[in-house]
Amino acid sequence: MTAILTWLLILMTALLCVGIWIGPALIATAVVLLEMYTNLPTHKLIANWAFNVATSSDIVSLPLFILMGELLFRTRLSQSLFSGIAPWMSFLPGRLFHTTVIGCSMFAAISGSSAATTQVVGRITLTELLNRGYDKGLAVGSLAGAGTLGFLIPPSIPMIIYAVLAEESLLRLFTAGFLPGFALAGCFMGYMAIRSVLNPKLVPNDDHTTWTWADRFRSLIELGPVAFLILTVLGTMYAGIASPSEASAIGVLGALAVAAGQGTLNWKGIRDALLGSVQTTCMIGMIVIGAFMVGTVLANLRVPQFVSAAITSWQLSPFVLIMFLMFFYILLGTVLEGFSMIVLTLPIVLPVVLAAGFDKLWFGIFLILTIEMAQISPPVAFNLFVIQNITGDSQTYVAWKVIPFFLIMMIFTAVLTIFPQLVTWPVDFILSR
């Protein structure tokens, strides 16, 4: 078993270091391990496994959710979000700081991409906050932290990948992400409110923008497109009208309707959205197929059972084990992006976690949270790259400003470990009705 793990590590490291994409690297690793340690017909197995993954009912929703996000990226949805949210923030300490978190939460519920959420919401809210004199550090940190909610609040592309590889219900996984996602957003808002109370200089004194109640109620019209998309995508799923794959198709039609209503629908935008979604889908699809192949090969060679037995012999408590995994994933996130972390580790880590008594559904949310932390862990931190592109600041500056939000996410993950009911209870309550 040690030899198999050694070859796995050598092959993956060598292939990635010479610049081969992670999808083909995973497939090549699976082929080499099959040829070295089994007498199975490799060419037949590879073809069958690729077909089974590509035709999975859950994976069908992946390109459609990506297309929906690409279409929305080219609309004026971010302006609508800010205009609809801002008038209601004057009651809260920190005022317009909260538009970033709420805007990211709402866009996450119709996007599924962390980077897209950060860019679409950030290019409007961050510009508005800085122009009005709000503290730049807190504004940048909140955008980096809140942008990660695109992974946790459904529909979520990493959740689709986890559902396929872990053979978990996508609808259950989407449902499990709701409460933790919005609770984490609430933690971010609470932190910004406390900071604003302790240091009033963070909020400009000369921001005398006032809104009447008539202005506030009129602003709700701006949130109409977002509410429409959330209702058409998530509402149809939880009402039992559509499956996740069917809801993704409905979401694409909804995104087209929003783009048409805002006057941003044109052939160039549609062409760019289609090309972008094809490129992203092909990249992610090959990674998922390669990860499934490696995982299946390792399972046939009984590697997960060997690793599980080895870790069990350490006699770690379940809480210590999961905290060890959290720090392991945070460390891994400094050199790998989120998708790679899921596909490379899940075949080995998931059996260990299940043997320790953790729920597969709960671990999916835990893993998504650690992936979120990886999105803001330099040097490989995609959310930080996006914010650098918006502000022109160095990654070091952005990374320092995001530390408080990173710590909030760590504490939040530990709380979910102590109280796993926060993940499982909404699923039992909503889907059992």
Average pLDDT of span 399-427: 89
Quote the tokens at residue 426. 């909404």
Predicted pLDDT of residue 195: 93
Average pLDDT of span 404-430: 87
Degrees, nearest 5: CA angle 114-115-120 = 105
Contact 387, 122 (CB under 8 A): yes
Q: Give the pLDDT band of residue 171 (cuts 50, 70, 90).
A: confident
How many Å apart are CA 366 and CA 414, to the nearest integer? 9
- Please provide residue 18's backbone torsions phi and psi, each rounded to the nearest 5 degrees: -85, 5
Tens-place pLDDT, residues 194-241: 999 999 888 887 555 677 788 888 888 888 888 888 888 888 887 778
The total of other beta-carbon atoms located within 10 Å of residue 223's CB is 17
Tens-place pLDDT, residues 316-333: 788 888 888 888 888 877
Query: Quick check: pTM over 0.85?
Result: no
Tokens 């995001």 locate to 402
Map out the domains of the chain as residue ranges: 10-431
